[in-house]
């Protein structure tokens, strides 16, 4: 009996030792195969180096330290470079891998990754190898901490960048089979944050943002700025035709319930609500530069011809500011025309439905005069037809005189109490009506140096302005709107010349509403 116990003990020890030896051999074999695969089985244009590899077969953990991955272009230059302090895979699913040819990972972690990508280099065509996985790669949790991304062109100039990127995704499913044109990656929930975002938008403009937060279907951008790279003076020296100097700052941009899908080879972006909080837009135009005579499409045409489908239920703009300047003469400092406390809404901003797009705005002109401007259009109308309507109340003439002085060599005085307008148009012409209530309105035409009044022109000009609206039984004077669009000018120029045409007709014409 003692002998039997001794034999049993020896057999147990032998089994344990054999098991440990088998595990050690398996550990060494798997580690060798991983190294061999990373060194020998990758395509020639891919290369990976690392300092060390750790493996735990019992729990299914693998990690690589100090990784450098490179993808080379067709001229053997590094197109993509990825560096990371550590890549760790935890809880590898052996049964799905062995019996179902599927990769199932409990967790994938990447520490301090840095991605550098050269946009101008040609990528090798990737050919699908036999035996390549055609099923879903599933990851219980993907986590990347403190990453940095930079895109460079062939001149080593930054095209786009972001810093301090943190990504957490749960229940990730990645499709390697691209036969179906749908989302290659899906996840149940996730969070992405980044700081110091930058994008080069071309020769003249750039985009900046302090931070980005993406939490499931909510996207928030803070301290966004879209601006001209040059100063106003530098821009004028670097252009041959007119181009606006712009500086747009937005305190917060919020996109709610955002989704991006594919359907029948078409990309569809759906956003129920976009909120733009405290936008501040500065626009400056040097009119001494030659006009840009290129065709300016209507907004409906621009939406209709977008390369992807968009559907935005509502856009809300809250507490915005707009300032506009025009330089008309070399030695005259341009004054600003400002729109303050701008609140606006856009309904049905889309090219994916038959719903009419409606824009409604309210603001204070020069922080004094309540102003409403609205318009609507249907993107499916090839004529680019639209309807516009609006009003102002108690125009503060003194507040706009500095702008009138520098831009029109005019100073106005009098009392303009109300104005209403409605007109409809196409991409070619617009017609409508305007009515205005005013008293004792006069203007003075200034001399070219703006140091005095041109009395002769002022007298002739005021002769054609009709007596105030008290002469009309209903206290309004009426004007007809009938204008042709200058297709080399913007839509807002089209709105302005329509209102101006109706205003001039009301001030100088019969002033009677024609039935």
What is the average per-residue pLDDT within 455-464? 68
State yes or no: pLDDT of 123 exceeds 90.
no
pLDDT, residue 496, reads 94
Pairwise pLDDT comparison (129 vs 236), residue with the higher score? 236
The overall longest dimension of the chain from CA atoms, in Å, is: 135
- Tokens for 98, please give them: 């062995």
CA 360-362-363 angle, 5° bins: 145
State yes or no: pLDDT of 238 exceeds 90.
yes
State yes or no: pLDDT of 472 exceeds 60.
no
How far lies 58's CA from each of 14, 20, 25, 33, 262, in Å? 20, 11, 13, 17, 41
At 8, the pLDDT band (50, 70, 90 cuts) reads low
pLDDT > 90 in the chain, percent: 55
At 342, the pLDDT band (50, 70, 90 cuts) reads very high
Q: How many CA atoms lie within 13 A of 421 on its CB side?
A: 33
pLDDT, residue 37, reads 54
At 459, the pLDDT band (50, 70, 90 cuts) reads confident
Least confident of 103-107, 264-268, 346-350: 264-268
Q: What is the DSSP letter of 499?
A: H
DSSP-assigned letters across all residues of 305-330: T-SSEEEEEEEEEEEEEEEEEEE-ST
What is the average per-residue pLDDT within 499-504? 91
Q: Say how far apart CA 148 and CA 161 lie, in whole Å.
A: 8
Q: Say how far apart CA 328 and CA 346 lie, in whole Å.
A: 33
State yes or no: pLDDT of 1 exceeds 50.
no
- Tokens for 2, please give them: 């003692």
**Closest listed residue to residue 492, CA positions, set 337, 271, 260:** 337
pLDDT, residue 104, reads 80
At 426, the pLDDT band (50, 70, 90 cuts) reads very high
Q: What is the mean pLDDT of the chain?
A: 85
pLDDT, residue 106, reads 87
> How confident is the model over 138-193, as pLDDT tens digits?
889 999 999 999 999 988 899 999 999 999 999 988 775 555 546 667 888 899 99
pLDDT, residue 17, reads 52
pLDDT, residue 133, reads 45
Residues 433-447 as b or e (16 or more Cβ within 10 Å = b): bbbbbbeebebbbbe
Pairwise pLDDT comparison (307 vs 55), residue with the higher score? 307
State yes or no: pLDDT of 303 exceeds 60.
yes
CA quadruple 479, 495, 346, 202: dihedral, nearest 10:
-170
DSSP-assigned letters across all residues of 128-187: PPTT---SEEEEEEEEEEEEEEEEE-TTS-EEEEEEEEEEEEEEEEEE---SS-S-SEE-
Residue 210: how many other CB atoms lie within 10 Å: 12
Task: Judge whether 152 and 119 are in contact, CB under 8 Å.
Answer: yes
């Amino acid at each position: 009996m003692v002998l039997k116990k001794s034999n049993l003990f020896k057999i147990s020890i032998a089994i344990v030792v054999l098991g440990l030896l088998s595990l050690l051999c398996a550990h060494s074999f798997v580690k060798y195969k991983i190294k061999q695969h990373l060194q020998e089985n990758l395509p020639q244009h891919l290369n990976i180096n690392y300092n060390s590899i750790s493996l735990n077969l019992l729990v299914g953990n693998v990690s690589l330290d100090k990784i450098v991955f490179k993808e080379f272009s067709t001229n053997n230059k590094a197109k993509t470079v990825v560096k990371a302090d550590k890549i760790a895979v935890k809880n590898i699913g052996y049964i799905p891998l062995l019996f179902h040819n599927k990769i199932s990972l409990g967790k994938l972690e990447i520490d301090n990754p840095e991605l550098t990508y050269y946009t101008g280099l040609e990528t090798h065509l990737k050919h699908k190898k036999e035996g390549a996985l055609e099923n879903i790669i599933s990851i219980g949790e993907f986590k990347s901490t403190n990453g940095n991304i930079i895109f460079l062109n062939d001149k080593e100039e930054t095209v786009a960048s972001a810093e301090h990127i943190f990504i957490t995704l749960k229940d990730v499913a990645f499709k390697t089979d691209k036969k179906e044109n749908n989302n290659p990656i899906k996840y149940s929930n996730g969070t992405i944050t980044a700081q110091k975002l930058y994008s080069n938008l071309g020769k003249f403009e750039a985009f900046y943002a302090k931070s980005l937060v993406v939490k499931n279907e909510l996207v928030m951008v803070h301290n966004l700025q879209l601006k001209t790279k040059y100063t106003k003076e530098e821009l004028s020296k670097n252009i041959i035709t007119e181009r606006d100097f712009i500086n747009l700052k937005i305190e917060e941009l919020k996109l709610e319930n955002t989704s991006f899908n594919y359907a029948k080879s078409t990309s569809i972006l759906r956003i129920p609500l976009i909120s733009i909080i405290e936008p501040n837009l500065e626009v400056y135009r040097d009119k001494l530069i030659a006009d840009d005579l290129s065709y300016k499409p209507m907004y409906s045409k621009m939406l209709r011809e977008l390369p992807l489908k968009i559907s935005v239920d509502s856009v809300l703009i809250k507490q915005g500011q707009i300032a506009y300047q025009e330089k008309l003469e070399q030695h005259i400092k341009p004054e600003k025309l400002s729109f303050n406390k701008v609140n606006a809404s856009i309904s049905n901003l889309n090219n994916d439905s038959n719903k009419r797009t409606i824009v409604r705005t309210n603001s204070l002109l020069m922080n004094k005069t309540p102003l409403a401007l609205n318009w609507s259009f249907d993107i499916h109308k090839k004529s680019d037809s639209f309807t516009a309507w609006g009003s102002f109340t108690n125009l503060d003439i003194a507040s706009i005189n500095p702008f009138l002085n520098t831009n029109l060599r005019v100073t106005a005085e009098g009392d303009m109490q109300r104005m209403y307008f409605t007109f409809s148009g196409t991409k070619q012409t617009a017609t409508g009506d305007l009515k205005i209530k005013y008293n004792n309105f006069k203007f003075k035409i200034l001399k070219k140096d703006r140091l005095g009044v041109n009395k002769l022109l002022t007298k002739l000009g005021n002769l054609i302005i009709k007596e105030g609206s008290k002469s009309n039984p209903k206290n309004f004077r009426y004007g007809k709107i009938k204008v042709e669009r200058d297709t080399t000018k913007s839509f807002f120029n089209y709105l302005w010349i329509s209102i101006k045409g109706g205003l001039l007709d009301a001030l100088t014409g019969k002033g009677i509403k024609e039935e």
